[in-house]
Amino acid sequence: MSAGGNMRIEQPYLLFLGDAPDQLAAKTAQGVKDWRPETCVGQLRFTDCNADLGLSDMSLSEGLEKGAKTLVVGVANRGGVISEAWTEVLVKALDLGFDLASGLHNKLADVPALAAAAERNGRQLFDVRHPTETFSIGDGKKRPGKRLLTVGTDCSCGKMYTSLALEREMRARGIKADFRATGQTGILIAGAGVSIDAVVADFISGASESLSPANDADHWDLVEGQGSLFHASFAGVSLGLLHGSQPDVIVMCHEPTREHMRGLPVYALPEIQPCIETNLAAARLTNPEVVCAGLSVNTSRLDPEAAKACLAELEDKIGLPAVDPMRDGVGRLVDKIA
Amino acid sequence: MSAGGNMRIEQPYLLFLGDAPDQLAAKTAQGVKDWRPETCVGQLRFTDCNADLGLSDMSLSEGLEKGAKTLVVGVANRGGVISEAWTEVLVKALDLGFDLASGLHNKLADVPALAAAAERNGRQLFDVRHPTETFSIGDGKKRPGKRLLTVGTDCSCGKMYTSLALEREMRARGIKADFRATGQTGILIAGAGVSIDAVVADFISGASESLSPANDADHWDLVEGQGSLFHASFAGVSLGLLHGSQPDVIVMCHEPTREHMRGLPVYALPEIQPCIETNLAAARLTNPEVVCAGLSVNTSRLDPEAAKACLAELEDKIGLPAVDPMRDGVGRLVDKIA
């Protein structure tokens, strides 16, 4: 269970929801609570907060008493910036001995009052979107241990969710497995990882290698994929991650109702079979034994009947298990892998 | 002839060779002199310099009199660092009104005396390996104008040289053509460009798009390729550059005597035909009309007979022109393109 990457956030957490205008604004905190409830001692909300994770409400000092080490800014206001309304409580948290962690675009470290309070108290500020580590160039050397990478027909189609669901299912079966995070929410959930799209281009595969280091022969790293080899904006990230992860297994993630590639109205989604083949062909460069275990399909926009028909059709077409992790779990994918 | 990228270095240059221990240490300056002799007013050498570009030796003030705007640090000492022995003359250059440009790993801007002198004189320091621009995410939109990208079976097999040779040949035929630089030597040669492997991963294709912006329908951008889709360390860079460049034409660069991928002893070179097909398949995402014009083969390590046989064999195998630009020029590739 060695840590991937060098960023390591101390747990457990107190989740800061602040003045979240609605539940959606707290979706990062929601992700942490859903996947790592044991790491969340409670939530800290302002009186005008409209989000609720169902955790105990508590003050900073109550959070400390419950053992919290890090206050996680799990909320985004408009523009994804750090609100001035939060500064007082964030400074107080540092003064009381918390570290701070945030997945927002702008940095905690760039807010002078927070930088000063962290310095004064010897505490750490984790801006998880912004890697601070120095990575090596990828060396392509095979590492012991098993690795699975979630890939996709597009961005934002369920790679993090699928990776975490696989971790949960594998652990429930007694298989050694660790989720490896490559995006901000995943890093806050895991308490470690690398925001891979923020790494300097030369080091994409090297950073990906460091994320899933050598491990026991029967240990699985479940690496959170990013982007798609068929996304004109981000395919370079996806390819470097694919090469550095050296997956033994890929799982193809897909959102069947999407009309075009995310953010690119003129680009159609790829067909699934060629998308699988292209990913396998590229992955063979660093792991000739790679296989595809099946499809993870986000059918949340379909009614139950349509979802069932969609999964059956995909399964028939591809000849591999096609599951919606939210509806069916990922047991059939793990059967295939194990 | 609009500029690719935002980094624009004022020409002409005075080439600083300093205390270069041998000719190889001045290879960056040599590249500038070979490809843009008209931009080089002279060379500045210390008494212990063992390199010579065959340019007039001159002092800073003589260089200024000849019209030089930028002093180019075209020399690398051991470790690729900025030598303390250079500081005095570099500061004096800034005081006299030169900008400075360097392709070294460590930055001019990080040498306090140089930063202070630039500030004091309102001059610019160009650390061409370190992009300072803000790029947009790639949007994949087709841009007017024609584009050619040099790709490769491996790193360091002649992509910059081939791109520049194509520019020279096309311009000689009256074709509108501009070399677009993606590496430090290329940027110093062109006076503009983007060090693509130093861009944050999310922006590889966006930076590549900005490098070859919309242009006349009959204008060719000749984009310097980087890495290889088959290089386990750098393929992500190569793919983002391929997608962002949207090439109409690729030229495959190859070094036939190499025993393994550069820096990766356990990786064999790819076969050329599948390498071409993989590049074309990936390039079709953003330009379905892409074709391969032929091969540019670096046969410098073969004797003339062996080189001839190698090119004939490759040409027969691939069914496209195979030239060594150093021996034969790139005329046959331009015939094929035009």
Nearest by CB: B236 against A230, A237, A264: A237
pLDDT in tens, A224-233: 999 999 999 9
pLDDT in tens, B115-168: 999 999 999 999 999 998 889 999 999 999 999 999 999 999 999 999 999 999
Calpha distance B181→B126 (Å, rounded) = 15
B141 interaction partners in chain A (CB closer than 8 Å): 266
**Confidence grade of residue A6 (pLDDT, cut at 50, 70, 90):** low
3-state secondary structure A286-299: CCCCCEEEEEEECC
Cα angle B34, B36, B38 (rounded to 5 degrees) comes to 115
Q: What is the pLDDT of residue B80?
A: 75
Query: Is residue A249's pLDDT more than 90?
Result: yes
A137, B236 Cβ separation under 8 angstroms: no
Asked if B202's CB is within 8 angstroms of A202's CB, the reply is no
Q: What is the pLDDT of residue B6?
A: 59
Q: What is the pLDDT of residue B271?
A: 97
CA distances from B46 to A238, B30, B60, B74 (A): 48, 17, 12, 13
Which amino acid type is present at position B141? K
**A135 C-beta neighbours (distance < 10 Å), count:** 22
CB contact A129 to B (< 8 Å): no
Query: Is residue A237's pLDDT more than 90?
Result: yes
Q: Who's near A302: CB < 8 A, 6+ residues apart?
A: A256, A257, A310
Calpha distance A288→A295 (Å, rounded) = 20
Query: Is residue B199's pLDDT more than 70?
Result: yes
**Confidence grade of residue A4 (pLDDT, cut at 50, 70, 90):** very low
| Secondary element (H or E) of residue A322 | strand A322-323
Q: What is the pLDDT of residue B5?
A: 47
Calpha distance B253→A105 (Å, rounded) = 40
B50, B20 Cβ separation under 8 angstroms: yes
**Confidence grade of residue B76 (pLDDT, cut at 50, 70, 90):** confident
B97, B67 Cβ separation under 8 angstroms: no
Calpha distance A53→A35 (Å, rounded) = 12
A200 interaction partners in chain B (CB closer than 8 Å): 197-201
Nearest by CB: A202 against B141, B197, B282: B197
CA distances from A57 to A12, A46, A52, A89 (A): 15, 10, 9, 15
Which two structure tokens, joined as six digits, stand for A291?
């296989």
Cα of first residue to Cα of last residue in chain B, in angstroms, is 19
CB contact B206 to A (< 8 Å): yes
Cα angle A140, A146, A151 (rounded to 5 degrees) comes to 75
Residue of B1, B5, B4, B25 whose CA lies nearest to B15 = B25
A14, A96 Cβ separation under 8 angstroms: no
CB contact B28 to A (< 8 Å): no
Nearest by CB: B233 against A137, A199, A238: A137
3-state secondary structure B274-338: HHHHHHHHHHCCCCCCCEEEEEEECCCCCCHHHHHHHHHHHHHHHCCCEECHHHHCCHHHHHHHC
Q: What is the pLDDT of residue B87?
A: 96
| Secondary element (H or E) of residue A312 | helix A304-318
| Secondary element (H or E) of residue A222 | strand A220-223
Partners of A149 in beta bridges: A223, A250
Q: Who's near A227: CB < 8 A, 6+ residues apart?
A: A152, A155, A197, A233, A234, A235, A237, A238
Q: What is the pLDDT of residue A56?
A: 98
**Confidence grade of residue A2 (pLDDT, cut at 50, 70, 90):** very low
Which two structure tokens, joined as six digits, stand for B142?
């087709």
Asked if A196's CB is within 8 angstroms of B200's CB, the reply is no
Query: Is residue A101's pLDDT more than 60?
Result: yes
Nearest residue on chain A to B206, judged by CA atoms?
A233
Calpha distance B26→B51 (Å, rounded) = 7
pLDDT, averaged across chain A? 95
**Confidence grade of residue B79 (pLDDT, cut at 50, 70, 90):** confident
Asked if B281's CB is within 8 angstroms of A235's CB, the reply is no
Q: What is the pLDDT of residue A79?
A: 73
**Confidence grade of residue B81 (pLDDT, cut at 50, 70, 90):** confident
Residues 219-248 of A with CB under 8 A from B: 229-230, 232-241, 243
CB contact A141 to B (< 8 Å): yes
pLDDT in tens, A271-329: 999 999 999 999 999 999 999 999 999 999 999 999 999 999 999 999 999 999 999 99
pLDDT in tens, B266-325: 999 999 999 999 999 999 999 999 999 999 999 999 999 999 999 999 999 999 999 999
Query: Is residue A5's pLDDT more than 70?
Result: no
For an interface test with A, give the residue of B129, B211, B237 to mutate (most A CBs within 10 A): B237
B240 interaction partners in chain A (CB closer than 8 Å): 201, 235-237
Q: What is the pLDDT of residue B132?
A: 87
User: Which pTM was predicted?
Assistant: 0.95
B288 interaction partners in chain A (CB closer than 8 Å): none
Which two structure tokens, joined as six digits, stand for B259?
């025993």
Q: What is the pLDDT of residue B4?
A: 39
Q: What is the pLDDT of residue A1?
A: 31
B229 interaction partners in chain A (CB closer than 8 Å): 239, 282
Average confidence (pLDDT) over A96-124:
96
Asked if A243's CB is within 8 angstroms of B232's CB, the reply is yes
Q: What is the pLDDT of residue B1?
A: 30
| Secondary element (H or E) of residue B17 | strand B13-18
> Within its chain, how far is the Cα of B49 from the centroid?
25
pLDDT, averaged across chain B? 95
B282, B230 Cβ separation under 8 angstroms: no
Calpha distance A264→A82 (Å, rounded) = 29
Alpha helices in A173-266 (DSSP H): 184-190, 204-211, 235-245
Give percent of chain A above pLDDT 90: 93
pLDDT in tens, A186-209: 999 999 999 999 999 999 999 999
A30, A50 Cβ separation under 8 angstroms: no
A232 interaction partners in chain B (CB closer than 8 Å): 138-140, 205, 243, 285-286
